[in-house]
Amino acid sequence: MAEVISARAAVLRRIGQPMRIERIAIGPVGRGDVLVKVAAASLCHTDLEVIEGQLGIALPAVLGHEVAGTIAATGEEVHGLAAGDPVVLHWNPHCGLCFHCERGQPILCDQYLANGPKAGHFDGKGPRLACDDGMALHQLMYLGGFAEYCVVPAQQAVRLPEGMPLDRACLLGCAVMTGFGAATHVARMAWGDVVMVVGCGAVGLAAVQGARLAGAGTIIAVDPQSSRRAMAAHCGAGVLCDPGAEDPAALARSLTGGRGADVVTEAAGLPAAFRGAVEAARPGGQVIWLGKVGVGDEVAFRWGSLMGEKHITRSSYGGARPRKDFPAMARAYLDGQLELDSLVTARIPLEEINDGFAALKRGEAIRSVVVFDA
């Protein structure tokens, strides 16, 4: 399929400015690509970082990397996917052949990291998008999901089980995979462990659920917002902590005979949360950092908090293996084991996307989801 189609998209032209709804050109679909008709795309803090200039990419650009939809067309070399298939997209295409891929670290793939700053297609040949004036239009994280259609390599599209609602499936592509995977892939969690999750946004709530399904004995959820603590309880946390009223590390020690938590997952992206995570972990325990601050920012620690043979891991995508993990998480949702419904706090049309990001910045939304016309 070599033709180019016209579609609506939210286009970011300047840092700090609202996105504009424009008609753009999408395509052509390469031999190994798929054209996806986007059904739902959720709003993530990473997108907000781009809008505010904390994460730089070439502009103009279409953001959006938590995306689900249906296959509209496939390239000649695509196998295993066909028009009409429901899919969720992931943002970590990889070559499978480089040093890191061969060692099971696709998040560090040479091609992925080299072509990422170009904000185009994974093959490095530029975006598959263009503005209506012909100017190249860039894609965040090889996706560009805030549009009615997107073109991605077939490896980025994972078929979903029948019956999976797409406005919830989109969350699997980033937030849920990151948090859930931290508990089930990254942490070496033992049955009955005391687990603390710091920050109860979409990623943290997924980490709570991953810990529950992995067999944690006690799950402590830490968040300053009472509504988010209540949601964490709904997702499986048995102990709730307001860090403004109670020291999370002291609470962890009080529940473990003075030791501290076996596993602490940080999902807030704040210097105090990073520090608090290592303070709350027991000697020999595990600390998993999922949040982030600016790449040039510094975070200071009390040296003693880093001692005691603690294992500290930074994870960007929860050890994701999308082709296996996405269908498994979708089946867990369909079986009633994984809660996604309450994570979607608003469904909005594309025209309200700027309002959605304003709500995200104010901390009013877990996930707002742009829902496109059927």
Place of tokens 């419904």: 341
- The reported pLDDT for the residue numbered 2 is 55
Does residue 325 fall inside a structural domain? Answer: no
327 cis-preceded (ω within 30 degrees of 0): no
- The DSSP output letter for 18 is -
> 144-170 pLDDT, tens per residue?
999 999 999 999 999 999 999 999 999
The answer on 69 and 40 residing in a single domain is yes
Helix (H) or strand (E) run with residue 322 in it? helix 322-334
| Same domain as 85, residue 29 | yes
Query: Do 225 and 128 share a structural domain?
Result: no
Coil, strand or helix at 234:
helix
Distance CA 66, CA 156 (A): 12
Q: Is the pLDDT of residue 374 over 80?
A: no
pLDDT score recorded for residue 136: 87
Contacts of 147 (CB under 8 A, 6+ apart): 7, 8, 9, 10, 24, 26, 38, 62, 64, 129
Q: What percentage of the chain exceeds 90 in pLDDT?
A: 89
| pTM of structure | 0.94
CATH number assigned to the domain comprising residue 22: 3.90.180.10
Q: What is the dihedral of CA 248, 252, 258, 262, to 10 degrees?
A: -130
Q: State the total domains in the chain.
A: 2
Whether 121 maps to a domain, the answer reads: yes
Task: Read off the tokens for 304.
Answer: 């003693």
Domain match, 246 and 295 both: yes
Burial 148-169, CB ≥16 within 10 A → b, else e: bbbbbbbbbbbbbeeebbbbbb
Q: Are residues 144 and 15 in the same domain?
A: yes
Domain range for 10 is 5-159+340-371
Angle, CA of 316, 105 and 208, to the nearest 5°: 40
What CATH number is associated with residue 187?
A: 3.40.50.720
Question: What pLDDT score was predicted for residue 160?
Answer: 98
Please provide the size of the chain in residues: 374
At 6-61, the pLDDT tens digits run 999 999 999 999 999 999 999 889 999 999 999 999 999 999 999 998 888 889 99
H/E element holding 51?
Answer: helix 45-52
Question: Whole-angstrom Cα distance, residue 122 to residue 83?
Answer: 22
128 and 17 share one domain: yes
